[in-house]
Structure 1
């Protein structure tokens, strides 16, 4: 399928981030997707990871905390509780049967959230996040499943190249599952590539952590290999794997070295195809944001209203959006969940040339677009209604309109649930909990920096103190 600018010189893309659901995709999510497609009339849809809620109770038998786990071995306590509430119990079946059941459930989820796109005849492409694989079906197999649906643009490995890395040599536009280029030709039909949409697999969790103090040891792909080669560290990991927090203690991952190399190689290939050797204008989409996203923020005192605390490598500091760098309408609702180390992805894009923007998902409550040293960094918030995120009206899908004469001067805006459908979803209690979810001290302090929340807590505390005081007085009399 060839992507091409329209006769009027525009090309429209919808970014859907963090659908993050199980086989029974939330009806409000589907409604939002359908309405956004109807309003935007897009030429392409990009799914930027965490389409699958890998820790959903539906996948309890095959859940993987890390890719080297035994399926179902380390199910988190919250998932067990949710499964009990829903009446979901582990099946007494063999591993092969359990995986086949999971595959069908993943297909059900795909069929549900892709239906608005396939019905409208809009092509789509998908990359992966840190939760997709946790259902037990890894990215390469999910790629095959996506290609079962009409309009999927994820490239296929050639018969002579069964592995993703071997396929890289056969198809210069593809590197690995979730990392590939989608050239967009000029409107005149002459075949010149006017811009490219780059999909990047940003990884899931960091590969290893120190083995001191009971922390997990080196991460390896295969648990049997781990048992044989690293019996002590594997035991530490198995015993100390976190029960509640899905983010491993080693932090989040980054694009692979092969993907970083490919960012430059693919630009050289596109330049050769155009015959001028020049990199083409390109925008990249991925799941986990790089550390440079923090450059769109400004550090503020801890007591500043609406400030959010940084995470992990940026912990202990508070931030607000830097209005001098961010577009109007930008929203910061939580810390930037980047990797602890900078892998050099943005630097690689700058060196390759042509890249003008990188957009991510992952952090469900963020929806800003910032410009740092001539390079755009932006978010789409969650468009799903099963996971945490902002209030219903602010969940949405990002629309891009690119212009053939200057793709870097693109227009973008959010198509929100509030704009397209209404202020309230079908389950406002769930949304409210997800909007005010407290999982640690930092998230609690972030909540208390919201004036309305602080006022409510203060009023409730005063009322409680009043009741206790009068109760004590009555006892004395």
Structure 2
């Protein structure tokens, strides 16, 4: 992702906000106007990444303002939410909160089924006790007592199931309300969006499948129903002519056509990168998800850009180890906790910022898969095949002629923003856009624009769209910072992709 310097001093660097003209009822997204993801006649295709809203039932006003301003400035073809939209640990979800996915309470439906089975057993016991007249009086009395205890237990279980189901529904409605708030700017402007998940979304008590179903209720959602074959999105998605390759909730692929709609030149892939690992830390993406990544380039027939929540372990290769006393150094995470780091200026584009240690899995085959490494692809496909998730023969066939990935854009670490390159793969970290959790100073909270050019579609440019530049002063003091490293963030990484230079700016640039 190419990055350049900002506008020369003395000229405004604030991106243009271009609201729709009066009476213009067309979708803000050009792809939505075309009915499919496609490069414009201008030769551009734009994706807006929105990372880590991470809020409860009442989404912060400034988060909404940043999303609105970003949409009007960028006019993206597609918005990708890269996880942790929902702060599942919010007190509003206390009734259904689950700290880890494997510690989730029993589903209400399962509980109801168990209650029904208990009731049948109780009835059988009751019938047996009533008809067995040959038993002694003591035995009959004991049986009656057992039936009474079982009936009381059944009533208690039924009541508990009813309470759990009601709590689950309250959470569902609260989550739906939160989603409606941050999607409102997209729905109003008719911009399609894709969603994946992080390590906090599920903590509200809803599974990714349940969350996916809620998102699909809203117009513009391109998340497909999970499946194994290519499908075409519905008109509800705003892209009725768009092919999609589904895999699971939060994991799917979308081909992007050239400006003449004659061939696919790019893939947009969204991945559920996992959450917590047993024993601590964060888990790598599931083997079946990585096997899907390995098959996507051959299915699409072009190189792809990947969007997910969790950074890869290889992000640490963009850093330089330093002593703990080095100015602005940040301590690493888990396996890297004994070391301090700063950004490696030889590998990272100007304007990047390291505000906290990179939180990622201890190990993962994902980067090797993105590079098309045969051994890694074989390992994940064999593992997925052994688990019965995919057919290994199909996986091997689809690997033939696969293309490497362009790069990956992640969120998760709220105070990090940088773009680097490692072994030909671009690695981008995007800060939080939300004002409901920790992060950088309010002015530096941002969304990320990634712009593709048909002349070189696999060399995208990127720009952070910062709150301070797009919106200005925050409306509240709710946002707070964390893990400050005392280094003032630079003016910003990325091109100014939104403004056409003025005549004076062009003349001044000649003498700069």
For normalisation by structure 1, the TM-score amounts to 0.73
Alignment deviations for residues 180-218 of structure 1 (CA, whole Å, 9 cap, x no partner): 10111111022x111011101100101x22xxxxxxxxx
**Which among 349, 366, 370 is matched to residue 370 of structure 2?**
349
CA contact 2:230–2:245 (8 Å) conserved in 1: no
1:252 alignment partner, SS class = coil
RMSD of the alignment, in Å?
2.0
**Which among 124, 132, 136 is matched to residue 201 of structure 2?**
132
Q: State the partner residue of 1:156.
A: 225
Q: State the partner residue of 1:168.
A: 228
Q: State the partner residue of 2:470.
A: 420
1:193 maps onto 2:264 in alignment: yes
Q: State the partner residue of 1:103.
A: 172
Alpha-carbon distance between aligned partners in 1 of 2:104 and 2:253, rounded to the nearest angstrom: 33
Cα shift at 1:46: 0.2
CA contact 2:430–2:447 (8 Å) conserved in 1: yes
Alpha-carbon distance between aligned partners in 2 of 1:340 and 1:316, rounded to the nearest angstrom: 14
CA contact 2:229–2:245 (8 Å) conserved in 1: no
Matches within 5 A, 1:325-474: 325-341=347-363, 343-351=364-372, 352-422=402-472, 424-428=473-477, 430-431=478-479, 434-435=480-481, 437=482, 443=483, 447=484, 450=486
**Which among 255, 270, 283 is matched to residue 183 of structure 1?**
255
Alpha-carbon distance between aligned partners in 2 of 1:92 and 1:22, rounded to the nearest angstrom: 25
1:322 maps onto 2:344 in alignment: yes
Alignment deviations for residues 60-110 of structure 1 (CA, whole Å, 9 cap, x no partner): 1000111222449xxxxxxxxxxxxxxxxxx99700000000000111011
Q: State the partner residue of 1:21.
A: 55
**Which among 51, 54, 77 is matched to residue 43 of structure 1?**
77
CA contact 2:104–2:205 (8 Å) conserved in 1: no
Q: State the partner residue of 1:257.
A: 287
1:415 alignment partner, SS class = strand
Name the larger-Rg structure.
Answer: 2
Alignment deviations for residues 104-127 of structure 1 (CA, whole Å, 9 cap, x no partner): 011101100001011111100000
Alignment deviations for residues 286-309 of structure 1 (CA, whole Å, 9 cap, x no partner): 001110001111111111111100
CA contact 2:80–2:194 (8 Å) conserved in 1: yes
Cα shift at 1:170: 6.3
Matches within 5 A, 1:77-92: none
Cα shift at 1:421: 1.2
CA contact 1:61–1:71 (8 Å) conserved in 2: no
Q: State the partner residue of 2:320.
A: 298
CA contact 1:264–1:349 (8 Å) conserved in 2: yes
Q: State the partner residue of 1:286.
A: 308
CA contact 2:308–2:410 (8 Å) conserved in 1: yes
Alpha-carbon distance between aligned partners in 1 of 2:347 and 2:329, rounded to the nearest angstrom: 17
CA contact 2:57–2:175 (8 Å) conserved in 1: yes
Gaps of 5+ in 1: 73-90, 158-166, 210-249, 272-279, 438-442, 453-477
Alpha-carbon distance between aligned partners in 2 of 1:395 and 1:170, rounded to the nearest angstrom: 37
Alpha-carbon distance between aligned partners in 1 of 2:403 and 2:329, rounded to the nearest angstrom: 35
Cα shift at 1:49: 0.1
CA contact 1:55–1:131 (8 Å) conserved in 2: yes
1:182 alignment partner, SS class = strand
Matches within 5 A, 1:200-219: 200-206=271-277, 208-209=278-279
CA contact 1:64–1:71 (8 Å) conserved in 2: yes
Q: State the partner residue of 1:310.
A: 332
Q: Give the structure, 1 or 2, with the largest relative contact order (CA under 8 Å, sep 6 or more).
A: 2
Q: State the partner residue of 2:184.
A: 115
Alpha-carbon distance between aligned partners in 2 of 1:420 and 1:114, rounded to the nearest angstrom: 19
Alpha-carbon distance between aligned partners in 1 of 2:475 and 2:357, rounded to the nearest angstrom: 28
Q: State the partner residue of 2:497.
A: none
CA contact 1:281–1:407 (8 Å) conserved in 2: no
CA contact 1:45–1:122 (8 Å) conserved in 2: yes
Cα shift at 1:327: 1.1
For normalisation by structure 2, the TM-score amounts to 0.68
Alignment deviations for residues 26-80 of structure 1 (CA, whole Å, 9 cap, x no partner): 00000000001000111100000000010011111000111222449xxxxxxxx
Summarize the Cα distance change of 1:5–1:385 in structure 2 as closer, same or farther, 3 Å threshold: same
